[in-house]
Amino acid sequence: MRKPIVGGNWKMNRGTPENAREMLDELIPKVKEMKDVDIVIAPPFTALSVASILKVTNIKLGAQNMFYEEKGAYTGEISPLFLRSLDVEYVILGHSERRNIFNESNELINKKLKVALSMDFIPIVCIGEHLEERKAGKTKNVIKEQMEGTFKEITKKEMEEIIIAYEPIWAIGTGETATPEQAEDAHIYVREILTEKYNDNTANRVRIQYGGSVKPHNAKKLFEKDNIDGGLVGGASLEADSFASIIKAAQETSN
């Protein structure tokens, strides 16, 4: 059985340690009994010092991005070594905002992914289609192409460490969620590709989160689907109440 995983992607919000801590002080007691779900928060780099208060909790720390070199002349980039020194365990790679606003290609994400794996981070790799692509019936082609490029030369053993977040771009931050059926169909397709590339066993092991306007009122219906193993949450992860209800929905649907 796959353990669900709920991630809070804070994006460019709650970026001071005080602001992050305020939310976590509320969240920690609300979720401390929820053992059947993995919980991750990914604050901005400037708030990663909250690692110290997460240490004794069941909440893990993630980064929203990282570079593939350890050091050097890369103005504005963050080294995996710096993240390691801050007790970061997870790293989100290839978020659609990185792909679209910062032109990150599958090739670049693949490079980062290999480094993340070699340094024992748990990568959360995002894929998903634009609205026009969905309307044109190209969702599967997009998923396939992104997976081929992003997971190039990734071994079976490595693949089983990776978490995939299927996030249709038209659902991100728009309040428009994919229906549980639409999300489930996409997740089934992701598993088909994993079966083709690796085998059934690997396809069944990889956890696939859904992301895109996951909210307390829709989380349970999404997480109840067989192939949806939790969610990657943006807006609703910024407040303790809403994030805790989503985590609870994952806990309740965990088997």
Stretch that binds ligand PGA, among 37-45, 138-146, 197-205, 232-240 (CB under 6 A): 232-240
Of 202, 206, 204, the closest CA to residue 165 belongs to 206
Q: Which residue in the list 97, 129, 167, 184 is annotated as catalytic?
A: 167
Question: In whole angstroms, how close is the CB of 155 to ligand PGA at the nearest point?
Answer: 27
Stretch that binds ligand PGA, among 17-25, 48-56, 192-200, 210-218 (CB under 6 A): 210-218
Give yes or no for a contact between 94 and 125, defined as CB atoms under 8 angstroms apart.
yes
Question: In whole angstroms, how close is the CB of 153 to ligand PGA at the nearest point?
Answer: 26
Stretch that binds ligand PGA, among 28-36, 146-154, 183-191, 208-216 (CB under 6 A): 208-216
What does the alpha-carbon distance between residue 230 and residue 136 come to, in Å, rounded to a whole number? 28
Find tokens 């931050």 and name the residue: 173
Of 49, 86, 91, 103, the closest CA to residue 67 belongs to 91
**Which of 42, 198 has the CB closer to ligand PGA?**
42
Let me know if 133 is a catalytic residue.
no
AA identity, residue 253: T
Of 233, 240, 249, 250, the one binding ligand PGA by CB under 6 A: 233
Structure tokens at 94: 């290839």
Tell me the site size for ligand PGA, rule CB under 6 A.
13
Question: In whole angstroms, how close is the CB of 237 to ligand PGA at the nearest point?
Answer: 7
Q: How far is CA 155 from the centre of its chain?
A: 20
Tell whether residue 173 is a contact of ligand PGA (CB under 6 A). Answer: yes
Stretch that binds ligand PGA, among 16-24, 147-155, 184-192, 226-234 (CB under 6 A): 226-234
Of 211, 229, 251, 253, the one binding ligand PGA by CB under 6 A: 211
Relative orientation angle of helices 139-150 and 106-118, to the nearest 10 degrees: 50
Question: In whole angstroms, how close is the CB of 162 to ligand PGA at the nearest point?
Answer: 16
Query: Please, what's the b/e burial string for 56-72 (b: 16 or more CB within 10 A of its CB; e: otherwise)?
Result: eeebbbbbbbbbbeeee
Of 117, 172, 203, 222, the one binding ligand PGA by CB under 6 A: 172
Paired with 127 in beta bridges are 166
Residue whose CB is nearest to ligand PGA in the complex, by number: 234
**Which of 106, 209 has the CB closer to ligand PGA?**
209
Let me know if 69 is a catalytic residue.
no
Q: Of 3-32, which residues contact ligand PGA (CB under 6 A)?
A: 9
Spatial neighbors of 217 by CB under 8 A, at least 6 apart, are none
What does the alpha-carbon distance between residue 225 and residue 185 come to, in Å, rounded to a whole number? 10
Paired with 166 in beta bridges are 127, 210
Give yes or no for a contact between 51 and 77, defined as CB atoms under 8 angstroms apart.
no
| Catalytic positions | 95, 167
Q: Provide the binding-site residues for ligand PGA, judged by CB under 6 A.
A: 9, 167, 172-173, 211-214, 232-236
